[in-house]
Amino acid sequence: MKVNILTAYPDMFPGSLGHSLAGKALADGRWEIHVANLRNFATDAYKSIDDTPFGGGAGMVMKPDVVDNALKAVHKAGPICYLSPRGAVFDQETARQWAETPEMTFICGRFEGMDERLFAKWPIREISLGDFVLSGGEPALLAMLDAAVRLIPAVMGNPVSLAEESFASGLLEYPHYTKPAVWEGMAVPDVLTSGHHENIRAWRRAQAEETTKTRRPDLWTKYLAQHNKKG
């Protein structure tokens, strides 16, 4: 998995991606990251990457010539994604797709966004971390790439963990317990210490369903629709 990143703040990468599982995978060559400073593609002496919007209004807009120059130099293959609040919301399925994509290019939005003409010239997909606004696309991209990189084969130590974690089956994950068996008067559910694997699986499934139903009714509705469709 090769990742190209266009940003005004290259020092923000690899950031958290240089640690833990993602960092080890990066060091092992299971994925690679190439960061390009947008200011290197500016056309004036001040290295400007933004300018005032036509029609007036607050804020600045990322210049089309700068981003275009950067894409021409960096993008070779694969999808182009722009981090933007107006994009489709990132989810686990998107993370899976990214993990299976050999090469991708990401543009980290800043200011009031990019000149709209860039979307007419390039096949750019807009993607959002959620319904809130950040100061730039960099923090959002760090989180998204973390979700994707861990799905690359052999990055996770135990592949079973991927199959059982939240969103893998459309449900939130079941509760977890560890030693001591009794802590501050609270005991681990008996079924988990019973050694009866079928009962444990059934309990975990029921807990995952109940947790999803009460905490994320939107996911529960989606899960029921998909489950009934398969049935």
Q: Which residue shows structure tokens 């990019």?
A: 114
pLDDT tens-digit series, residues 163-191: 455 556 789 989 999 999 999 999 999 99
Mean pLDDT of 37-65: 94
The per-residue pLDDT for 226 is 83
Give CA 182 to chain center in angstroms: 37
**pLDDT (0 to 100) of residue 189:** 94
Q: State residue 159's pLDDT score.
A: 57
**CB contact set of 170 (below 8 Å; sequence gap of 6+):** 219, 222, 223, 226, 227
CA 58, distance to chain mean position in Å, is: 29
Domains of the chain: 2-149 (3.40.1280.10), 159-230 (1.10.1270.20)
State pTM to two decimals: 0.82
DSSP-H helix ranges across 36-183: 64-74, 92-99, 117-121, 137-149, 159-164
